[in-house]
Amino acid sequence: RGAAIKAAEKAADIPELVGGLAGMTGPVLASVSSDDLDECLSSMRILEKVARSGMTAAEGVCLTGGCMQQIVAAAEKHRAAVDIRVAIAGLVEALVRSGSDDCPILVAHHATPIIIALAKTSDVDMQMRALKILRSLAVVGINKFTMQKTYAAIHELVPLLARQDPSQQALVSEILAHMASTDNAFYGENAKALGEARALKPLMVLAKSRDSVVHRNATWALAAMSACEKNHVPMRACIDTLLMVIERGTPVAQRYAVMAVSNMAATDRTRDILKEKGAEGILRKCAHNNAGDRMLSDLIHKTALHNLKRNGTQVFNIPAP
């Protein structure tokens, strides 16, 4: 079987032949979890090349019975091998980026722990690859629930906010913001999890970053946190940070900070603190300085200032930038 797999791997390098291998994914899958590392690696490379050849081919790989389970088994069996990490990352990337609606869902359902493990390796390039895969998964609505409820992805990722590379800070904060900005934000499961995972302090630090993308994404994640009322009491600690962003942040970050303040002003426990810290004046000045930004102006006048005066409504579904 090993010789046949090697021959198929060579054929996969030929564009005219790779399409024909799409019908052979079953036999190739049988070698993915092989005890022989070389056979396992060859099988994964074949599947990656097939998956990259087109959406239909990728779905053929992903939907073949037991595909993702075999990949998970191979990762466990050969976890000490660096090459297996590269092969798994390549195959998963190909499936997630295939344009298929089904592939990212299946990958998230089965392979989230493996991808998180890749993000925690000592290889910086692999860390970035894994985080980009997680970002692609986190934008899919159903994946936000699966990744958190099944694998506690938010709790796993929050410690990565402490990394010093702005590129990684931006990616991790964006993933967390996507995951917390869920369709069921009214009930706050993922937004609440962000608070429980102690994301507040590192996000406050990153919201002050000089890197504009880190600054925006961290403020976005704070806004998503504020959609859960149970986070409002601990989030009193970030009021100064949010008001600073409203005063001096980038336009998109200002919008997110206003959303967070609007949410926190909707509850008695935090409304009074916002008033004491001069939130109304800061909001009016921001609206005046950004008169051409209709979205920001509406958020301030129709939601934030309204909520500061009386019981109001929250901005439950925080949109992506």
The string of pLDDT tens digits covering residues 154-204 is: 999 999 999 999 999 999 999 999 999 876 544 568 999 999 999 999 999
The pLDDT-based confidence of 62 (bands split at 50, 70, 90) is: confident
Cβ-in-10-Å burial (0-12, 13-18, 19+) of 292 comes to exposed
Going by C-alpha positions, the residue among 281, 241, 210, 233 that lies closest to residue 221 is: 241
Which range is least confidently modeled, 78-92, 119-133, 182-196, 283-297?
A: 182-196
**Contact indicator for 121, 82 with CB cutoff of 8 Å:** no
Report phi then psi at 36, rounded to 5: -80, 115
Going by C-alpha positions, the residue among 104, 101, 102, 114 that lies closest to residue 69 is: 114
Distance from C-alpha of 203 to C-alpha of 218, rounded to nearest angstrom: 5
Distance from C-alpha of 220 to C-alpha of 199, rounded to nearest angstrom: 13
> What is the mean predicted confidence (pLDDT) over 200-226?
97
Per-residue tokens: 4: 């046949």
Select the highest-mean-pLDDT range: 45-59, 80-94, 300-314. 80-94
The string of pLDDT tens digits covering residues 79-95 is: 889 999 999 999 999 99
Q: What's the N-to-C CA distance of the chain in angstroms?
A: 50
3-state secondary structure 229-247: HHHCCHHHHHHHHHHHHHH
Which pLDDT score is estimated for 321? 87
The CA–CA distances, whole Å, from 268 to 166, 232, 277, 312, 318 equal: 36, 10, 15, 10, 21
Q: Between these two residues, 282 and 52, which has the higher pLDDT value?
A: 282
Q: Between these two residues, 24 and 157, which has the higher pLDDT value?
A: 157
Going by C-alpha positions, the residue among 116, 98, 22, 31 that lies closest to residue 71 is: 31
Q: What is the pTM of this model?
A: 0.91
Percentage with pLDDT > 90 across the chain: 65
Which pLDDT score is estimated for 318? 83
